[in-house]
Amino acid sequence: MGAAASASSVVTTALHGDVLVVTIDNPPVNALGAAVRQGLLAAMQQAQADAAVAAVLLVGAGKAFIAGADIREFGKPPVPPALPEVCRAIEGSDKPVVAVLHGAALGGGLEVAMSAHYRLALPAATLGLPEVNLGLLPGSGGTQRAPRLMGVQAATAMMLSGQHLKAQAALQAGLVDKLVEGADAQAAGLAYVRELLAANSPVRRTRDLAIAEPQAALAWLEEQKAETAKKARGLFSPLKIIECVQAAVQLPFDEGLARERALFVECLDSPQRAGLIHAFFAEREVAKVPEAQAAQPRPVASVAVIGGGTMGAGIAVAALDAGLPVTMIERDAESIARGRANVEKVYNGLVAKGRMTEAAKAAVMARYTGSTNYADIAQVDLVIEAVFEDIEVKKAVFRELDRVCKPGAVLATNTSYLDIDAIAASTSRPQDVIGLHFFSPANIMKLLEIVVPAKVAADVVATAFELAKKLKKVPVRAGVCDGFIGNRILAVYKQAADYLMEDGASPYEIDAAVRGFGFAMGPCQVTDLAGGDIGWATRKRRAATRDPKARYVEIADRICERGWFGQKTGRGFYLYPEGARVGQPDPEVLAIVDAERAKKGITPRSFSADEIMRRYMAAMVNEGAKVVAEGIALRPLDVDVTFVAGYGFPRHRGGPMKWADMTGLPKVLADIQAFAKEDPLFWKPAPLLEQLVAEGRNFDSLNKAA
């Protein structure tokens, strides 16, 4: 047995008896960079040429088989060989090729494995074709081979969801041939190859497998098309994936491959891919903040949550799901019973859906303690306050935490708007106070705004980012101002929507335009979902400081004055008969809108969906530029991640600042300048936007500079 490649190579070959073991060793995840593709192709040529080789075993070194393409190559000119050529060489071998999967086999990694003649999995294997998440489709035979191995429905569902299959599920689906216990991939693989050779198992090419019941498969794919078009909200690649699977059913294999490649290139050239790739990288970049690089996080082994309402319960569930013990504090026995019920409701829902057993629920709830006594949290490492959004109430809680919590405990507030510097000042330890702004429902929503007050210690910020990782949240660092990053910008584009409404667009036209852009809901639907009374309280709080010259639209206040707060009261902007979740337009709301227009002497004019979105987006981008210039957000990408992860901004557009770059900043600025002719106070161009346009630069140039 001798190694036939240099040790520095990312693909090495060694002969074990008559089996050529081909090892991919490209840390950290054996990504399919050019050197790996070249090495695999050379190894297959070597196996073909060497009479001493009876079979080939493909194995990944380290934790993964091959976890996909090398993302560092994205956007660069392709280096040969292309992956389809490598897959063709593996599948075309006239000696059996076995892939042994012991960790991640994702994207191109799974396409390599499907080109092998046999697949063996170890228990820790995860398999998937997640290209849809980047606006792509599997472009190296994945859409043609997966339906042949697992059937059309299972393969299509896997590619459309982008979700991973565990080893057992992959075995049941027919994606792997055998599952064996053990941790040593090479030893398990060699044993399997020996079995196959002893049984004279033939070369079994995936391309030669027939697709079962093609007519039924095509009928099902047609149904999927309609459903996917509805769900995809303008997303390009899901429908292309279905087209590829149709080609797999209808065309000979090589023609299907050619169709897949053509559609893959269409996806590559789509602006959606640029948006999705930006979102992908930006979500990794947001954690790179100066404090996390300057300090080590404090250990967090236990958490307390103050308040058991919807928000507190959601935060408690997020912490329990991360394996942490949680103590919840409420003011009396009745409130703590309600808080516990709010937590249990989430797990009862999972049990009812068959996604959790009663025993697993009991094990999680064993880590939950309810209490009315602050003394019970004297030893916890981190406290998250989630009580009523009133600064005096919150200060009282923090004075109590200051009294009972151990030195070095992190004290966090979940406020959405309030001044965290003022909350910190109510304690004797402002260095330990930070904002952790969760989004509702807190156990589901990905975004966590980490709000950094003036006096907080760097290691507390690092602890918050480490906690976000543990809770599987996407953290964004924000500075202190009214509304931080997200709600501050939201307030401005909601104003733009209010002005549109008063000027002639109905609430229902505005929502439809925003949904057409790719949001799941429009602003009036969001208000109804969150509760109109919340925004109303904020507007009343700000009334004293509002510029008397600024335009103020009272439509939402008129609706709230009638006690119509949205879904929870059965009507808001929309009507919700018998607890319906989807609202119906309300003629009485349109009458309120008309009355408000008449009161102000406004003659309504009509707006197209494009005109609505130009104003909506210009307001969002302009305020985003101010937030970046003031240092409330470190970089434009932090604004993008906030909106993609927390505000339903369509991921395929990358975020508001990326959208502005793709639209062209001169065009966005020209729109703002045109709108300023009607209302110069509201439509005041952000100096940063003017500067970037003058210098011929875009927002992304600031991401790179940071």
Q: Evaluate whether 44 touches 13 at the Cβ level (below 8 Å).
A: no
If you compute the radius of gyration of the chain from its CA atoms, what whole number of angstroms results? Answer: 29
Q: String of b and e for 77-107 (b: at least 16 CB within 10 Å)?
A: eeeebebbebbbbbbebebbbbbbbbbbbbb
Question: Phi and psi for 313 in degrees, rounded to 5?
Answer: -65, -40
Got the DSSP string for 620-657?
Answer: HHHHHHHHHHTTSBSSHHHHHHHHHHHS---GGG--HH
Cβ neighbours for 700, distance < 8 A, ≥ 6 positions apart: 636, 657, 658, 661
The candidate with the shortest Cα–Cα distance to 626, out of 445, 496, 462, 485, is 485
Q: Indicate the helix (H) or strand (E) that contains 437.
A: strand 433-438
Six-digit token string for 373: 């006594």
Q: What is the spatial distance between Cα 358 and Cα 355, in angstroms, rounded to a whole number?
A: 10
Give residues with Cβ within 8 angstroms of 361, minimum separation 6. 344, 347, 348, 350, 351
Name residues whose C-beta falls within 8 Å of residue 226's C-beta, 6 or more positions apart in sequence.
Answer: none
Angle at Cα 444 formed by Cα 371 and Cα 332, nearest 5°?
Answer: 15
Residue 306 belongs to what H/E stretch? strand 303-306
Residue partners of 402: CB distance under 8 A and separation at least 6: 411, 426, 427, 428, 429
Catalytic residues: 111, 131
CA distance 497 to 524: 9
Question: Is residue 529 within 8 Å of residue 520, measured between CB atoms?
Answer: no
Residue 634 and residue 627 in contact, taking contact as beta carbons nearer than 8 Å: no
Distance CA 114, CA 381 (A): 48
Q: Which helix (H) or strand (E) holds 201?
A: none
Cβ atoms of residues 430 and 424 within 8 Å: yes
